[in-house]
Structure 1
Amino acid sequence: MTADPKTIAAGHIWTFPGGIHPPERKELSNTYPLRELPLATHYSVPIKQHSGEPGDIIVRVGQTVLAGQPLTQVGVGFGLPVHAPTSGTVTAIGPGRIAHPSGLPDIVITITADGKDTFAPPLPIQDVATASRADLLEQLRQAGIAGLGGAGFPTAQKLALQRPLDYLIINGVECEPYISADDRLMREQASTILRGADLLLDITQCPQALIAIEDNKPEAIAAMQAALTDYPRMQLRVVPTKYPSGGEKQLIQLLTGRQVPSRGLPIDIGLVMHNVGTAYAVARAIDHGEPLLQRVVTVTGEHVAKPGNYWVRLGTPVEHVLQVTRYTAETNQRVIMGGPMMGFTLPDLTVPVVKITNCILVPSTAELAPPQQEMPCIRCGACADVCPAQLLPQQLQWLAKAKDYDGLNQQNLFDCIECGACAYVCPSEIPLVHYYRKAKAEVRNIAREKAKAEVARKRFEARNERLEREKAERLERHRKAAEARKQAQAEAVKAGADNPQDAVQAAIARAKARKAAQLKEQQANSEPDGEST
């Protein structure tokens, strides 16, 4: 069936290649309502929690801050500020553990809470109906809103792209096993999510929106369907349960039949997508002036006594989250940030919750076996069969191990969404996604080094051009001075001098006379003018 507008409007659901059906295990957490996590005693706020450059730090050690107060500011670039999650005192600024698979440190701002949780005055848009698009985008930017679905792309930057759009897609699929944060948010905050989606439609000047939910979330579907009666520009789409149907490119193909081109963006085919959590944050930022201080985090696994979904302040140490939810540890206990497919094992529990933290998973070895010893590939092809991006995972792994970066680019490495489906079905226990992540990081580093070298080359060439230009200007000045002397001599001849040298000799004589007069005056001044004793 063709992906024409009438077919899309009729609600047809297409399919995408590959995909798997792992155990969902969402019932561990989705049966409990959203709860507020008690405040921690201290918070570690990384200054970079989004895709792009971090802001400049505008607080100092010893300074008292209020909840919602900016800790960094951004200039003309596309960065985002971070804000104090609660009131307290800045006690440290420097390297600290962050939520990243590499385990490498980054700059964090540590705040010791005062327990009062005093908020800075909110700054909402006073009249949203008359506010300009630029004002709304700046409000989202200053509120630090980033995509909460996993990528962390600055929302204002994504919305600022100026191209005609056919559909806004609000992603509530949440296909990763164990995670139910979006599910509970849709059940309890459907109207706020749709209010945010309505604002996104206005900002993007898009005519209509599709709200996508996986069919394993009947309560969320019912809540969103009931709230949609107030939003005629939006339609609900229920998609089959299949991993990774929540991936951006895969969901677009499911809802519209369109395929995002390799290395392309959804906006290239007239679409833009935002997560339901992002839509909620947009509504709170514009209508209430709330910066992004907290998000819903699923805390789950058989080693958690109080699983569920919690509102967690950004910067909260994972160890505090687990203490509140009463987890029990076993020998070599793994704590995973994210789900079992796309998450990563934390280096330690001091790592803070950040904007893209949607889950903290503490599985037992019985429910989620630890990684096994990698064995040689048997070339079964199962990885290629389940790849939703239609890549060749086996070939990519060989190229990654060989550090053949040109070959990786030819095989479209960056089309890999790191869903983990290939590793899930691999009988040889090869951590394929690990190889891809490492290769992507190396390719990016090489690109950065090339960019630096190119900048250095241009600066060197500019310096040489400047030196050559200054040399030419100097020679030109000397040439003009010589011509001026020749012209002066010629004018002296025309004025009646019999010999051009006479003018020179006369000038020398005048100089000698001036010098003699100055010497005589100095001698006169040096003689005593008072009476002798």
Structure 2
Amino acid sequence: MNAQVWDFPGGIHPPTNKRQSTGSPIAAAPLPKRLILPLAQHAGSPAIACVEVGEHVLKGQMIATPGSAISTALHAPTSGTVVAIGEQPFPHASGLPAPAIVIDSDGREEWAPLQPCEDFRNENAPALLERIRQAGIAGLGGAGFPTAAKLAARAQDDIHTLIVNGVECEPYISADDMLMRERAAELVQGIEILVHILQPEQVLICVEDDKPEAIAALQAAIGERPFQLRAVPTKYPSGGERQLIQILTGREVPSGGLPADIGTLCVNVGTAVAVADAVLRGRPLISRITTLTGAALARPMNVEALIGTPVGELLDFAGLDRGKLDRLIFGGSLMGIALPSLDVPLIKTGNCLLAPTRDELPAPPPAMPCIRCGDCALVCPASLLPQQLHFFALGNDHEQLHAHNLFDCIECGACAYVCPSSIPLVQYYRAAKADIRELQLKQQKAEHSRLRFEQRQDRLRREEERKAAERLARQEKAARARETQDTAVEPAQSIIERVKAEKAVGNAPDDLKRLKIEASMAQVALKKAEKQLATHDTPELQAQVADLRAAAEAAKAALAAAEATSAPAPAPAAVPVANDAALKKAKIDGAMARAQLKKSEKAFGENPTEEQQATLQQLRAEVDRLDRLQAELQAPPPAAPAPSDGEKALKAAKIALAGKRAELKKAQQAGADEATLAHLRQELADAEQTLHAAEDTSGKPAPDLVRIEKRPVDAATRAAKTELAYARADLKKLEREGAPQEQLDSARARLEAAERALANPPAE
């Protein structure tokens, strides 16, 4: 009791006015018919309702879970029925409602099952902290910070001093004083639990020296325990956390810091008793001791009231004379707030209800201009400059308010108490703090929105890059496919076909064998090119097919001449073979024409232009012509009349002439001598004479050669139409895929160029 104590700067000594409410023991408030339980009775996030309207609840049952790590649970103070969940009156200076759970009492006070922990020493710290958190305990000294979050100090915080705060310095409030007098043993139990959790080096229990009854009760309850009871000088606001730490240790909590930063932790005596109830008896925080005082009450007292009880019912229990009541203050006369209604409920931080008359606490006179007396700076316990803070608050100069440590102000009201100009300084500070917090919240939201926008833009950019890469890959793949299609016959396949042709020839003579192989390879190449042309109709493939068809016909003619030389007898199947080849060619041409028509119809769309309609009509006419030709070739051939003797002689002369030509050509290639060549030339001349004589005697008329040039569409026009169809199809594809604007512009320019080329063909 005689240990050294220090002092803090400033402070005042207002009248205490505590004896009015300490003359009788703590009374039990009557059970109200309806309880209003706000979800935000503590610092941090509001609790989250876990019951529904119409649900029956038991006393001590959890009705709202903690909303975050900095939050507390909420429990039913009595058994009854949940009748509403929504906006209800709330004890705040603004008078605005707040979300709450409303319970109608059934009067039975039926408890929910409790889970006490009689031997807390066998529990580890995290388990005890969870019990405290689930019990819904918040600081009962007025700040309302969740106790479990406060006790869960970081590992690097070396908490060497636990301070139990019984310094109830504000005028009129005596709830903690009466608690220490009547429940000192329960307070010591709570301190032992806190020591088990925190393992501090020392425990300091602090009481003002004007409370001898509380000091005596605590000394008896502490006994031989290593707890130090300290009596501190009576001075306002010595009960402030930072001021009390400075009184006991001589050290200041750094600006913007926490007591844990200097190894201390401060807990209110009411909070310590609630911890004992939660751990040893399993009871959640559903009631608290509240001072009812003021000259408008007939019986000032301290009551243990259920959380959620309407304050009007508590004041009526203390004998409220509503005619004398000037205003209702929630808290003490210096730090309390005026309530707009008696319908608001008692909450966990409600340590006092002050009902003064006009004579007891007269309204302050109108504020006068500041006279720069400096009294406010002399009494400030945080060594601030209240006068400067007032000027900066009036000018909304947030930068200067930060520079002058506005948030170190504990809003004790000492500066306003001594101000000769009656300036409500604390109100200005509270408003400035609220403005700064609101601005910071908006800045945080704006920064969060900016980050989300930038992340979205990055995500869209990456997605666009991915799509562009995929489109480029598809285009490269299509280009490689077109290059592959331009090759009529693959080397490996041509080798396979050549080997097959050689095997089919067998043991034929060398020249005939070679000619058959060449004809077979030419036919295979032609078939492959025609197949590719039917799939991809391009001017390049059309020219290639024409060249291959000419080469195949030449190879077939050479083979026929060689076979005629080796086998003079006429082949009866010559006409059917020719008809089969013409029929096959007609089928291929028809397939190609139909493919071109289908492709053009798809490229031109549903509303083709007049020029496109003309092109489609030409393509349809070509398809009809090829269909008729195919039908004619598929008809059975008419029976050929028996050849006459003259015709037989003419045919034999033609075969003989072809054989003589082949013999002469072979001899020339073999390098025969001139005599042999002269003999062969003479035989060739004789064969020609024989052929002329056979033509004269055969009776067949001479052939009437008529040259017909069929040009339905010239090559330039066909190429221009094809380019126009491809340009239009590529543009539609890019539009469907959502291609970049640069590619769309390039495709539109290509389409316009193709339309101009078709409309203005080059002069021949």
Same fold (TM over 0.5): yes
Pick from 330, 354, 363 the counterpart of residue 347 of structure 2: 354
After superposition, residues 164-243 of structure 1 pair within 5 angstroms as 164-232=158-226, 234-243=227-236
Pick closer, same or farther for the CA change 1:75–1:393 going to 2, 3 Å.
closer
The unaligned stretches of length 5 or more in structure 1 are 1-8, 517-533
Per-residue CA distance 1:182-232 (angstroms, 9 max, x = gap): 001001111211111111122123222100100010010011111112422
Select between 286-295 and 492-501 the one with higher mean Cα deviation: 492-501
Give the Cα separation in 1 of the matches to 2:61 and 2:531: 79
Aligned residue in 1 for 2:684: none
Aligned residue in 2 for 1:23: 15
Aligned residue in 1 for 2:73: 81
TM-score, scaled to structure 1: 0.91
3-state SS of paired residue (2:121):
coil
Aligned residue in 1 for 2:295: 302
Per-residue CA distance 1:241-272 (angstroms, 9 max, x = gap): 00000001100000000100111110011111
Aligned residue in 1 for 2:510: none
Alignment of 1:365 onto 2:358: yes
TM-score, scaled to structure 2: 0.64
Give the Cα separation in 2 of the matches to 1:400 and 1:96: 32
Bigger Rg, structure 1 or 2: 2
Per-residue CA distance 1:358-378 (angstroms, 9 max, x = gap): 001111222211222111111
The unaligned stretches of length 5 or more in structure 2 are 494-524, 538-590, 599-764
Aligned residue in 2 for 1:145: 137
The two structures, once aligned, show a CA RMSD in angstroms of 2.3
Aligned residue in 1 for 2:150: 158
Give the Cα separation in 2 of the matches to 1:125 and 1:459: 48
The 8 Å contact of residues 198 and 231 in structure 1, kept in 2 or not, is answered as no
Aligned residue in 2 for 1:530: none
Pick from 478, 486, 494 the counterpart of residue 471 of structure 2: 478
Identity rate of aligned residues, in percent? 50
Alignment of 1:505 onto 2:533: yes
The 8 Å contact of residues 201 and 208 in structure 1, kept in 2 or not, is answered as no
Give the Cα separation in 1 of the matches to 2:183 and 2:99: 34
Report the Cα offset of residue 75 of structure 1.
Answer: 5.3
3-state SS of paired residue (1:209):
strand
Alignment of 1:444 onto 2:437: yes
Report the Cα offset of residue 491 of structure 1.
Answer: 5.9
Per-residue CA distance 1:306-364 (angstroms, 9 max, x = gap): 11111011100010001111111236621111010100111110111101000011112
Q: Which amino acid aligns with 1:122?
A: L
Give the Cα separation in 1 of the matches to 2:111 and 2:535: 83
Report the Cα offset of residue 132 of structure 1.
Answer: 2.2
The 8 Å contact of residues 51 and 151 in structure 1, kept in 2 or not, is answered as yes
The 8 Å contact of residues 166 and 207 in structure 1, kept in 2 or not, is answered as yes
Aligned residue in 2 for 1:110: 102
Pick closer, same or farther for the CA change 1:503–1:445 going to 2, 3 Å.
farther
Q: Which amino acid aligns with 1:183?
A: D
Q: How many positions carry a matched residue from both structures?
A: 506
Report the Cα offset of residue 501 of structure 1.
Answer: 8.4
Report the Cα offset of residue 404 of structure 1.
Answer: 1.2
Aligned residue in 1 for 2:409: 416
3-state SS of paired residue (2:191):
helix
After superposition, residues 250-269 of structure 1 pair within 5 angstroms as 250-269=243-262
Alignment of 1:129 onto 2:124: no
Per-residue CA distance 1:34-77 (angstroms, 9 max, x = gap): 11101111111101100001122111221111111112113553
Give the Cα separation in 2 of the matches to 1:380 and 1:490: 96
Alignment of 1:14 onto 2:9: no
Q: Which amino acid aligns with 2:366?
A: Q
Aligned residue in 1 for 2:392: 399
Pick closer, same or farther for the CA change 1:47–1:495 going to 2, 3 Å.
same
Alignment of 1:458 onto 2:486: no
Alignment of 1:314 onto 2:313: no
Aligned residue in 1 for 2:26: 34
Report the Cα offset of residue 484 of structure 1.
Answer: 3.1
Give the Cα separation in 2 of the matches to 1:445 and 1:346: 23
Pick closer, same or farther for the CA change 1:111–1:230 going to 2, 3 Å.
farther
Give the Cα separation in 2 of the matches to 1:501 and 1:34: 108
Give the Cα separation in 1 of the matches to 2:4 and 2:397: 42
Aligned residue in 1 for 2:490: 495
The 8 Å contact of residues 26 and 301 in structure 2, kept in 1 or not, is answered as yes
3-state SS of paired residue (1:428):
coil
The 8 Å contact of residues 384 and 393 in structure 1, kept in 2 or not, is answered as yes
Give the Cα separation in 2 of the matches to 1:452 and 1:96: 28
Pick closer, same or farther for the CA change 1:260–1:476 going to 2, 3 Å.
same
The 8 Å contact of residues 393 and 432 in structure 1, kept in 2 or not, is answered as yes
Select between 118-127 and 421-430 the one with higher mean Cα deviation: 118-127
Give the Cα separation in 1 of the matches to 2:310 and 2:135: 22
Give the Cα separation in 1 of the matches to 2:529 and 2:73: 76
Give the Cα separation in 2 of the matches to 1:424 and 1:50: 27
Give the Cα separation in 2 of the matches to 1:452 and 1:17: 39
Report the Cα offset of residue 487 of structure 1.
Answer: 4.4
Aligned residue in 2 for 1:278: 271
Pick closer, same or farther for the CA change 1:503–1:222 going to 2, 3 Å.
farther
Give the Cα separation in 1 of the matches to 2:224 and 2:350: 31
3-state SS of paired residue (2:158):
coil
3-state SS of paired residue (1:71):
strand
The 8 Å contact of residues 296 and 325 in structure 2, kept in 1 or not, is answered as no
